[in-house]
Amino acid sequence: MAFKQKLANVTGLKPSLIPSSYQILGDIMLLKVPNATQAEKNKIARGAMLLLPYVRSVCEIKEVKGELRQPAVKLIAGERTETIHTENNVKYHLDVSKIMFSKGNLNERQRLIKKIKKDETIVDMFAGIGYFSLPIAKHTKAKKIVAIEKNLDAFRFLKNNIQLNNLTNVQTIWGDCKDFAKSVTNFADRIIMGYFPDTEEFLPYAVRIAKNNAIVHFHNIYSAKDLWKKPLKQIEEACSQQSCGFEVLEKKKVKSYKPGVFHVVVDFKIIKE
């Protein structure tokens, strides 16, 4: 029997009130319950904890907002919003009320690891709590990963997660990746731009940070009708402004973001000489 039906049975609520999807991070369940009253939300949360005994807290998630990607999350049942989530042998300590974590990007994290070559210097321009930097440091032979993060909450978890996973080759910078790019040029073999929307604004900074032949992983969101003309034009503009060439290596849909809109990634090589 599907979880939704089991939860309807255990709570005695109409199936239309029960969310059809949920996300579990560590021992915390996150769900959307837009049409339920507080009493119904409490029943749903208690029912979920009964059905999945390893779940220690249940939280309602409304949206992930703003430049710093802060989630609107409220605890419904349990006591904690902090947890340790493990994925691909990497531990991520996070507070779901302060930090987002997209399980939908798992395939992308795994795809990226396979691309990294020995001794690369990598810049993770939007490091968050280490979504990309930690698995790269753990599973590849990269020389150094510079992980830049602007949100202080995320930055603190990033520092903590580096220790938690016993990693030694991640250097952290609390600040704006644009400022880093103003002081550093021809630095990285690979640049990760794991952020959206409007990531194109940051392309000129990625081009500056790149060495000749560096590879950029450019994430953004586009409506289906703009694929792939718009992202390729944005890359072309950023490269030609700095008199660079480029070669597209791969372009992929990462996940559906909302109806008709996709989170995509374009891998391209920057040619400076």
- Residues that bind ligand SAM in the complex, under the rule CB under 6 A: 67-69, 100-102, 105, 126, 128, 131, 148-151, 154, 176-178, 194-195
3-state secondary structure of 68: coil
CA atoms within 13 A on the CB side of 225: 0
Neighbouring residues of 108: CB distance < 8 A, sequence distance ≥ 6: 252, 254, 265
Question: CA nearest 59: which of 106, 108, 25?
Answer: 25
Q: Is the distance from CB of 267 to CB of 215 less than 8 angstroms?
A: yes
Report the nearest approach of ligand SAM to the CB of residue 119 (Å): 24
- For ligand SAM, the closer CB: 34 or 66: 66
CB of 67 to ligand SAM, least distance (A): 5
User: Which tokens is 133 given?
Assistant: 């930097």
In the beta sheet, which residues pair with residue 186? Answer: none
Cα 110 from Cα 2, distance rounded (Å): 29
Q: Under a CB-based contact definition with an 8 Å cutoff, are residues 173 and 200 in contact?
A: no
Which C-beta is closer to ligand SAM: that of 18 or that of 125? 125
Query: How many Å apart are CA 270 and CA 185, to the nearest integer?
Result: 13
**Residue (38 or 256) nearer to ligand SAM, CB:** 256
Q: 55 or 147, CB closer to ligand SAM?
A: 147
Q: Kindly tell me which of 178 and 251 has the beta carbon lying closer to ligand SAM.
A: 178
Q: How far is the CB of 125 from ligand SAM (least distance, A)?
A: 6
Closest approach of ligand SAM to the CB of residue 200, in Å: 13
From the CB of 100, what's the least distance to ligand SAM, in Å? 5
Q: Hey, which residues does 93 pair with through a beta bridge? A: 84
Cα distance between the two ends of the chain: 60
Beta bridge partners of 146: 123, 171
Closest to ligand SAM by CB, 3 or 187: 187
Compute the least distance from the CB of residue 134 to ligand SAM, in Å: 11
